[in-house]
Amino acid sequence: MAEQSKNYRYSTNHQVVVDADTRLVVLLGRPLPGNRNDCRAWAGSGAKDAVGKTVTIADGGYRGTGLVIPHRRRSADEELPDWKQAHNKSHRQVRARVDHVFTRMKTWKISRDCRLRGDGVHHAMRGVARLHNLNLAGQANRPPCGR
């Protein structure tokens, strides 16, 4: 499953959909080789079909996919209008919450040192996503500190 990517490491590309409000992992697409473009991985992993017509935001690597991405300037000397800057600001705030989830998922040792064959990578990432969701659900039921 892993392929050599730009940095000469063998990696896989995982498409993960996260609910920005709850920080829960909603969907985990099938893994693809790490040298795949994000747009191709979005369509090829099954995530695009599973999301359907739901409004989904993404980073700038998903141009032309129908996802909501940040506005870009057409040239270096062009300034964005205020409404586009405000949209980009809110987009960054939501993306920060989602990126924190990705970072938390990458800290699991099995996702860093994964040398699994066949569907092993997919099952390992599903397990990490479930453990992440269970961890968040457990934190929601904890009493505040000091009680």
Whether residue 145 lies inside any domain: the answer is no
- pTM, rounded to two decimals: 0.74
Domain that holds residue 28: 3-140
For the chain, give the mean pLDDT.
81
Whether residue 107 lies inside any domain: the answer is yes
Whether residue 146 lies inside any domain: the answer is no
DSSP, residue by residue, the chain:
--EE-TTS-EEEE--EEE-TTT--EEEEPPPEETTS-HHHHHHHTSHHHHHTTS--B--GGGTTSSSB-----SSTTPPPPHHHHHHHHHHHHHHHHHHHHHHHHHTSHHHHS----TTHHHHHHHHHHHHHHHHHHHHHTSPPTT-
Whether residue 58 lies inside any domain: the answer is yes
Asked whether the predicted pLDDT for residue 144 surpasses 80, the reply is no
Whether residue 9 lies inside any domain: the answer is yes
Give pLDDT tens digits for 36-73.
678 888 888 888 888 888 888 888 888 888 888 888 88
Look at the chain and report how many structural domains it folds into.
1
Asked whether the predicted pLDDT for residue 83 surpasses 90, the reply is yes
Give pLDDT tens digits for 29-39.
888 876 667 88
Whether residue 147 lies inside any domain: the answer is no
